Amino acid sequence: MNASALKWWETIQIAWSKYTAYRLNFFLQVLGPAFVFFFIKYNLWSAIYGGDQDILIAGYTFQQMITYHIWAMIVGLIAQGHTALNLAEEIRLGKISTYLIYPFQFWEFHTAHFIAFQWLQVLTSAVTVLLLALMSLLTVPSFALILTGLTYCLFVSVFWFALQYLTGLLGFWLEETWILRVILQIMTGFLSGAIIPLDFYPEKFVQFLNYTPFPYLTYFPIKIFMGEMNQIGSAYGIMAFWIVLLWLANHLIWKKGIRLYTAAGM
Amino acid sequence: MGIKHYAQVYRGFVSTSFTEATSFRLNFLLLIIMDLFFYVSVLATVSFIFDHVETIGPWNRTQLMFFMSFMLVIDHLHMTFVSESFWMLSTHLKTGELDFTLLKPVNSIFSVFFRHVRPSSLCNIFVTWGLLIYYGRQVPLTTLDWVLLPPLILLSFTLLCLIEFIIASSMFWVTEGLGINFLRMQIQQLSRWPDYIYGILSRKILTIALPVLLIGSAPVHFLFDKSRYLPLGGMVIAILGSFVVLRWIWARGLRRYDSASS
């Protein structure tokens, strides 16, 4: 292993240890919200369908609706689980000075953390799918569909990481960046089909949404897992466009922000 | 130390919170926008579902929208008066800064949970109350209902705060309190939907053992049907019980606190 790869590997290992050190905290912070969200949705849709589980509501039977929400939970865990919780604080408290003198850059450190987090999320998701299948709540799709869905989710997670990284970098100018993160989460939850399928939304509104990245974050990957999506190529293309755009924005913001950086506390 | 003393201290808390909040004007504005996005997403979600169904359980669109607005008013009070303090508690426990709070000559529960006010959220008072009045008129509420509405909101807010104070007190027993804050938020999520959507067992647990479903469902059911006063009685009992539990668990938590900075 060369020196650069070794640095990445060590950092990923340290990040993994950090995430798994406080297991209860990890469960409550990352997994708990996803499970509670699914619990509410399961109960809500049970109440909506009542005793008649075969009726179609916006094209969904009860079982299809539950399957949709199970995959929404899994997609949420893999594609949108990561948060740049400490990034702005590191900028504000002057902690990034360390990265400026170490031979491992700021973005590399955070990307390594993101990779470790993603491993953990994929494992957790695999266990969740297995448990739900054992409880007969979910029919596990074919291996090819799982692989296609997982690959796309990991691609979306890169977009999500770049977006989170961008909000964190705004810490060069803003006192608090968590507000932006929460706004993003609320908007994404609502506009991506994570709360209810986009088939429930007014048609013109959905047409408008298709020009934004939101449907490609949750609705599209869910439909991939459900075996109802054929436009995977265009979804990849749109996501790739946004990832490149965010990468350029992050690069620019970092260059501008670092000029303002005062290394507080040094 | 009477109520007058506490009122003076609270005025000081509010004053410093205003000074702090107005120093960061963009944050102030973003917090208002964040709350507005949340309100829109909650109401639009319910509205979109009702575009495809006539009723959810026994309630129609107007009734459920009224329930949602009721919960948004509670959420607004929560965001304005207590939410900030929970996040500070987890930090203060970790850094040992809680020492300074404990040294003050006021009840520590008061000084911990009411220390921070979020003035930006106060600006949205017209939105939440406007929505409640709008949907209340559509239900329609009677004159008696309108008179009962403010005290019922106060009762709901009190119960929500007490339950969350109890959950937050568990931060004394964990190394990292951030996760507890997320647990607290999830418990709050459960209360944002009417009790009848939950299965029998879940409903019993979330009404008796952890009475979060009483927060919104008990007062709104009572407003719609005056014969359903029993859950409201249960809510009063839950408030009294939660207060006793909070004092007990808080005292035990303080004994466990080892002051990280010392």
Quote the ipTM score: 0.90
Would residue A266 count as lying in a domain? Answer: no
C-alpha distances out from residue A182 to A188, B18, B80, B132, B245, Å: 10, 22, 16, 24, 32
Does the pLDDT at position A22 exceed 90? no
Q: Which of B31, B57, B199 sits opposite A179 (nearest CB)?
A: B31
Average pLDDT over residues B167-177: 88
Distance from CA of A120 to the nearest CA of B (A): 17
On whether residue A199 sits in a domain, the answer given is: yes
DSSP run (H or E) holding A105: none
> Considering its fold, how many domains does chain A have in total?
1
Asked if pLDDT for residue B111 goes beyond 80, the answer is yes
**What is the rounded average pLDDT of the residues A29-45?**
90
Which of B27, B53, B199 lies at the smallest CB-CB distance from A174? Answer: B27
Residue A231 belongs to some domain of the structure: yes
Residue of B nearest to A194 (CA): B45
Identify all chain A residues contacting B33, using CB atoms and an 8 Å cutoff: 183
pLDDT at residue B175 is higher than 80: no
Residue A264 has pLDDT above 70, yes or no: no
Tens of pLDDT, residue by residue over A74-85, are: 999 999 877 776
Domain limits at A144? 3-260
Strand partners, A57: A60
Residue B105 reports pLDDT greater than 90: no
pLDDT at A1: 67
pLDDT beyond 90 at B68: yes
In the chain, the amino acid numbered A138 is: L
Q: For B31-52, write each residue's pLDDT tens digit.
A: 999 999 999 999 999 999 999 9
- For the record, the structure tokens of B11 come out as 């005025």
What are the CA-CA distances from residue A107 to residues A162, B114, B131, B144 (Å)?
Answer: 10, 39, 44, 60
- Kindly report, residue by residue over A89-136, the tens digit of the pLDDT: 788 777 788 788 888 888 899 999 999 999 999 999 999 999 999 999
Q: How many CB pairs under 8 A join A and B?
A: 96
CA separation for the pair A200, B215 (Å, rounded): 29
For position A240, what pLDDT does the model report?
A: 97
The distance from CA B245 to its chain's CA centroid, rounded to whole angstroms, is: 18
Q: Over the stretch A177-222, which tens digit does the pLDDT of each residue have?
A: 889 999 999 999 999 999 999 999 999 999 999 999 999 999 999 9
pLDDT band, very low/low/confident/very high, at B67 (cuts 50, 70, 90): very high
How far is the C-alpha of A76 from the C-alpha of A34, rounded, in Å? 7
* pLDDT score for B48: 97
Q: Which candidate in B20, B22, B29, B52 is best for mutational testing of the A interface (most A CBs within 10 A)?
A: B52
DSSP code of residue A172: G
Candidates A27, A47, A202; nearest CB to B197: A47
Let me know if residue A265 belongs to a domain: no
Q: Could you tell me the two tokens for A159?
A: 């977009």
SS3 B104: coil
Contact call for B183 and A32, based on CB within 8 A: yes
User: For the residues B188-204, what does the mean pLDDT come to?
Assistant: 95
Q: In sequence order, which ranges of chain B are alpha helices (DSSP H)?
A: 3-23, 25-50, 61-81, 83-95, 98-103, 108-113, 119-122, 125-138, 143-169, 178-191, 200-204, 214-224, 230-256
Strands (DSSP E) contained in chain B are 55-56, 59-60
Best interface-test mutation with B: which of A183, A187, A218 has the largest number of B CBs within 10 A? A183
Q: Are B167 and B184 in contact (CB under 8 A)?
A: yes
A241-260 mean pLDDT: 94
Closest-CA distance of chain A to residue B193, Å: 8
What are the chain B neighbours of A174 within 8 Å (beta carbons)? Answer: 26-27
Q: Provide residues of B within 8 Å CB-CB of chain A.
A: 24, 26-27, 30-31, 33-34, 37-38, 40-41, 44-45, 48-49, 51-53, 56-57, 174-176, 178-180, 182-183, 185-186, 189-190, 193, 196-199, 202
Q: Tell me the chain B residues in contact with residue A31 when contact means C-beta distances shorter than 8 Å.
A: none
Cis peptide before A213 (omega within 30 of 0): no
Dihedral, A62, A63, A64, A70 alpha carbons, nearest 10: 110
